[in-house]
């Protein structure tokens, strides 16, 4: 297992290298207009000087080499258009805490609500709780998120008597964004857990356990739940780590100065250094998430193995 992890870790580093290099090269294929808001009126010499100042006149391999050397020194460069001349790391470091705080709260809320919901729905399949849960899931699936987010904001702020805009110092103003962000995930966890648990209940070992005289609840929560939770656990680290990505719509509605939509924004502004920095961050997070997910899966279900040499096919 350790050997597997070491190997996989090594390869992940290579992947990161490839990802960021590919993104680096793709970014240099964008038209140069994007770097200059005033492109229309600038002279050729001005544009040349602008490109020179951005280091874009060198051949791409030279630029890439320079980027890697700087990166090894921990230097991701300065933002080009988003916040000119400000170090990328500084900008990102300012924004991450907001998104992570909001996102983690939302995930905790969704797990605390979604998992019991899914489990209860499966336990009382066909009863009123299941029906009520299905109604909720169907509703969340059917109504576009953008629509109910806005209504939560409009009416929630009236009920709580707070301004529409987010204010980090007011604990009340965290409530609505967290609720809005959780709803979709509650439905997601509930729906899939119910599905997996219903599938699991049909298995022979459950029948055996019941026949053996174990109480219904014990079988259900000790065996069925644990088995059914395995497929969900793989996504758990990713979901937590992904909170650094932020929620584009919620953050913009409430004016949360987080990471939400930042990547799309800087791509559109042709801010190469920002894009590179963010992609590196997200990719690292994604790679680690996948790895942690796999490890968690083997921990919770010992039958799963990632590295059985003799079984290799």
Partner 1 sequence: MKKKILAVLLSVAMVFGMAACGNNTAGNQNSGENVALEGEDAVYRVLYSSEIGTMNYLTSGTSADQAVAANTVDTLIDYDSNGTMVPGLAESWSYDEATMTWTFNLRADQKWLDHTGAVVADVTAQDFVDAMKYVLDPANASDTEWLLEGVILNATDYYASLSDDDASNDMAFEEVGVKAVDALTLQYTLEKEVPYFLSMLGYVCFMPAYGPLLEQTGSEFATSEDKMYYCGAYYMANWEPQVEHRYVKNPNNWDADKVYITEIVKTYNAEASTVGPEMAKRGEIDNTTLGADIVDSWMKDPSTSNMVSMEREDTSYSYFYCFNFNVYKLGDDWQRTGTGEYAIDEKYEPWNWEIAVNNENFRQSIMSAVNRVNTVYVNTGDYADPADIIMNTITPTNNIVRDGADAYTTLDAFKDIKAADFYNTDEAIAYRDKAIAELTKAGATFPIKMLVRYNPSTTNWEQECLVLEQQVESVLGTDYVDIIVEAGPSENFLSTVRRSSDYMFMKCNWAGDYADPETWVEPFYQRDNGDGTFHRGGRYAYLAYAIVDDTASADTVKEYFTLVEEAKAITGSDQEKERFEAFAKAESYLIDHALAIPYGVSTKAYIVNKLNVYESQYSPSGVANFRYKGMKLYSNFISMDEYNANKK
Partner 2 sequence: MANSIKNHLAGKLEDALTEDLKKKASSNYEGLSDEELFTFAEYNSEEAERTGYSNYSYWKATLQVFLKNKVAVFLLIVMGAIVLFTFIQPYLPNQLDPNLINNNPMTFMQYRNVQPGELPQFILGTNSIGQDLWARIWAGTRTSLFIGLAVAIVEAVLGITMGVLWGYVRKLDFFFTEVYNILDNIPQTLVLILISYMVTPSIQSMIFAMCLTSWIQMARFIRNQIIIIRDRDYNLASRCLGTSTFKIIMKNLLPYLVSIIMLRMALSIPAAIGNEVFITYIGLGLPSDTVSLGRLINDGRELMMSPDLRYQLIFPTIVLSIVTISFYIIGNAFSDAADPKNHK
Please, what is the minimum distance in Å from the beta carbon of residue 230 to partner 1?
Answer: 29
The reply on whether position 22 binds partner 2 by CB under 8 A is yes
Please, what is the minimum distance in Å from the beta carbon of residue 236 to partner 2?
Answer: 12
| Helix orientation angle between 2-27 and 60-72, rounded to the nearest 10 degrees | 130
- What SS3 state is found at 87? strand
CB of 200 closer than 8 Å to CB of 127? no
State how far the Cα of 262 lies from the Cα of 85, in Å rounded to an integer: 17
Please, what is the minimum distance in Å from the beta carbon of residue 200 to partner 2?
Answer: 11
State how far the Cα of 197 lies from the Cα of 116, in Å rounded to an integer: 12
Residue 14 contact, options partner 1, partner 2, none, Cβ 5-8 Å cut-off depending on partner type: partner 2
Q: Which is nearer to partner 1, 155 or 205 (CB)?
A: 155
* Interacting residue ranges for partner 1, rule: CB under 8 A: 30-34, 36-46, 48-50, 52-54, 81-86, 91, 95, 131, 134-135, 138-139, 142-143, 147-148, 150-151, 153-155, 158, 163-165, 251-253, 255, 257, 261, 268-270
Residue 230 contact, options partner 2, partner 1, none, Cβ 5-8 Å cut-off depending on partner type: partner 2
Q: Which of 55, 75, 64, 74 is closest to 24 using CA atoms?
A: 64
The reply on whether position 15 binds partner 2 by CB under 8 A is yes
Greatest alpha-carbon span in the chain: 86
**How many other CB atoms are there within 10 angstroms of residue 1's CB atom?**
11
**CB half-sphere exposure, 46, CA atoms < 13 A:** 10
- What SS3 state is found at 37? coil
Q: Which of 213, 222, 208, 209 is closest to 123 using CA atoms?
A: 222
Residue 310 contact, options partner 2, partner 1, none, Cβ 5-8 Å cut-off depending on partner type: none
Q: Which of 134, 157, 210, 242 touches partner 2 (CB under 8 A)? A: 134
| CB contact set of 286 (below 8 Å; sequence gap of 6+) | 238, 241, 242
The reply on whether position 6 binds partner 2 by CB under 8 A is no
The reply on whether position 31 binds partner 2 by CB under 8 A is yes
The reply on whether position 56 binds partner 2 by CB under 8 A is no
| CB contact set of 265 (below 8 Å; sequence gap of 6+) | 82
Residue 306 contact, options partner 2, partner 1, none, Cβ 5-8 Å cut-off depending on partner type: partner 2
The reply on whether position 60 binds partner 2 by CB under 8 A is no
Which of the stretches 42-50, 68-76, 109-117, 277-285 binds partner 2 when contact is defined by CB under 8 A?
277-285
Binding mask 160-199 for partner 2 (x = CB under 8 A): -----------------------------------xx-xx
State how far the Cα of 99 lies from the Cα of 237, in Å rounded to an integer: 16
Q: Which is nearer to partner 2, 46 or 255 (CB)?
A: 255
Q: Which is nearer to partner 1, 168 or 216 (CB)?
A: 168
The full DSSP string for 25-87 is HHHTTS-GGGG-TTGGG--HHHHHHHHHHTT-SS-HHHHHHHHHHHHHTT---B-SSSSTTSB
Beta bridge partner(s), residue 31: none
Mark 63-78 as b/e (b = at least 16 C-beta within 10 Å): bbeebeeebeeeebbb
The reply on whether position 27 binds partner 2 by CB under 8 A is yes
Tokens (6 digits) for 171: 């604990």
Residues that bind partner 2 (CB under 8 A): 7-8, 11-12, 14-16, 18-19, 22-23, 26-27, 29-31, 125-127, 130-131, 134, 137-138, 141-144, 146-147, 150, 195-196, 198-199, 202-203, 230-231, 234, 263-264, 267-268, 275, 279, 282-283, 286-287, 290, 294, 297, 301, 303-306, 308, 311-313
């Amino acid at each position: 297992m350790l050997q597997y992890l070491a190997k996989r870790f090594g390869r992940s580093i290579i992947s990161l290298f490839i990802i960021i290099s590919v993104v680096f090269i793709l970014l240099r294929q964008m038209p140069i207009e994007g770097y200059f808001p005033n492109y229309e009126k600038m002279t050729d010499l001005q544009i040349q000087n602008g490109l020179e100042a951005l280091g874009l006149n060198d051949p791409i391999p030279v630029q890439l080499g320079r980027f890697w050397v700087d990166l090894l020194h921990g230097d991701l460069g300065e933002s080009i258009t988003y916040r000119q001349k400000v170090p990328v790391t500084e900008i990102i470091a300012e924004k991450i805490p907001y998104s992570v705080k909001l996102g983690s709260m939302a995930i905790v809320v969704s797990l605390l609500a979604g998992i019991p919901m899914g489990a209860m729905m499966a336990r009382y399949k066909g009863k009123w709780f299941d029906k009520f849960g299905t109604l909720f899931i169907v509703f969340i699936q059917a109504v576009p998120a953008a629509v109910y987010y806005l209504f939560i904001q409009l009416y929630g702020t009236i009920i709580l008597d707070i301004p529409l805009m987010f204010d980090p110092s007011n604990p009340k103003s965290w409530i609505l964004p967290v609720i809005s962000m959780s709803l979709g995930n509650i439905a997601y966890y509930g729906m899939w857990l119910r599905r997996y648990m219903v599938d699991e209940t049909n298995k022979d070992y459950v029948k055996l356990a019941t026949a053996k005289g174990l109480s219904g609840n014990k079988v259900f929560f000790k065996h069925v739940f644990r088995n059914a939770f395995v497929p969900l656990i793989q996504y758990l680290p990713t979901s937590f780590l992904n909170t650094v990505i932020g929620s584009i719509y919620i953050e913009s509605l409430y004016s949360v100065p987080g990471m939400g939509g930042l990547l799309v924004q800087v791509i559109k502004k042709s801010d190469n250094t920002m894009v590179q920095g963010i992609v590196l961050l997200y990719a690292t997070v994604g790679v680690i998430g996948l790895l942690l997910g796999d490890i968690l899966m083997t921990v919770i279900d010992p039958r799963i193995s990632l590295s059985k040499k003799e079984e290799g096919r």
